[in-house]
Amino acid sequence: MRCNASCAFCDYWKTSPEMKAKELTSFADAARAFDPMLITWTGGEPLLRKDLEELVNAVDRAISTKWTTLITHGGMLSLERARSLWDAGVGQFSISLDYLDERHDKARGIPGLSKKILANAEAIRGAGMTVRFNTVIKDDNLDDVMPLVRAAAAMRVGVNLSVYTDFKNGNRDHLLGAAHQQRLEELVRELLAFKKQRRGTLSNSDYYLESIPKYVRGEMKEPCRSGQETVHIDPYGGIRRCPDFPVDGHWKDYAGYAPIKCDRCFYACRGEAQAPLRVDRFLDLVASP
Ligand code: SF4
Ligand code: SF4
């Protein structure tokens, strides 16, 4: 929950450094208890943990069948660090990238970040590791998404899209609304057409992409499966149904969550959990960038 970026739409970088002393030094017991198929190491900025390789490797050894991803802003990711995390058990690097140019550096408060990400992503991919860009669709990057997807495809890097939400700290600056609806629908058509020609770059399901305009119109009625399909464990051992909800107690006291009617976000992790397993989804899952 600590971060060295300074995004205006997230408060993790304001976490007191004193909280470091309260962070768990192993998540292996939690991994054994939940025995998940998918583990995502996220933040804040996980690479701030000098013991990240040990944390990853202990969880990797604790359970047998899993897919491990790591979400990072990429500012501290080098080819060498990627290799050591890969050897520890990371199976995919998900690097946040919302714009191809310096607008991304400005949004994160890290000079030179977008250039660094593009160079490192290519190098890490070239060394045989799996890389995706995690791209958030916002009010001001609708025209940037397709160029970003094409740039990723040229590097054989994947892209996973999510929709901006103000739930992190109430910042409504980048929310999509009625004014963006037409361009958003065009973008979804472009993305679906791209997927038909080149499956594997975009890891979003057709269902997720098709549902984005519906979500922005406030028409998503399906209950969210957070807390049932997925749980979030914070650095201190607290459990939440999703990263943006309050902690409900220690993970050891988890007794399941009831379904919830919540529409506060349409991140890919929420939307994909409710995507039906259609033929196109199966084809997505077996394709690579
Ligand atoms: S959005 Fe990510 S990079 Fe930005 S402050 Fe929050 S955790 Fe850090
Ligand atoms: S929709 Fe689901 S994942 Fe999103 S904020 Fe609500 S409970 Fe959390």
User: What residue has token string 């629908």?
Assistant: 185
pTM (2 d.p.):
0.96
Give the position, in ligand 1's atom list, of the atom nearest the Cα of 6: 5
Does the C-beta of 52 come closer than 6 Å to ligand 2?
no
Q: How far, in Å, CA of 193 to CA of 188, rounded?
A: 9
Q: Which of 260, 261, 266 to mutate to test the pocket of ligand 2 (most atoms within 8 A of CB)?
A: 260
How far away, in angstroms, is 67 Cα from ligand 2 center?
22
Dump pLDDT digits (tens) for 109-142: 999 999 999 999 999 999 999 999 999 999 999 9
**CA nearest to 57, candidates 101, 26, 78:** 26
Dump pLDDT digits (tens) for 153-172: 999 999 999 999 999 999 99
**CA nearest to 190, candidates 123, 145, 235:** 145
Q: How far, in Å, CA of 190 to CA of 146, rounded?
A: 8
**CA nearest to 138, candidates 169, 179, 87:** 179
Give the chain's domains with CATH numbers: 12-286 (3.20.20.70)
| pLDDT surpasses 90 at 86 | yes
Tell me the ligand closest to 225's alpha carbon.
Answer: 2
Give the position, in ligand 2's atom list, of the atom nearest the Cα of 270: 3
How far away, in angstroms, is 264 Cα from ligand 2 center?
6
Does the C-beta of 89 come closer than 6 Å to ligand 1?
no
DSSP letter (8 states) at residue 223? P
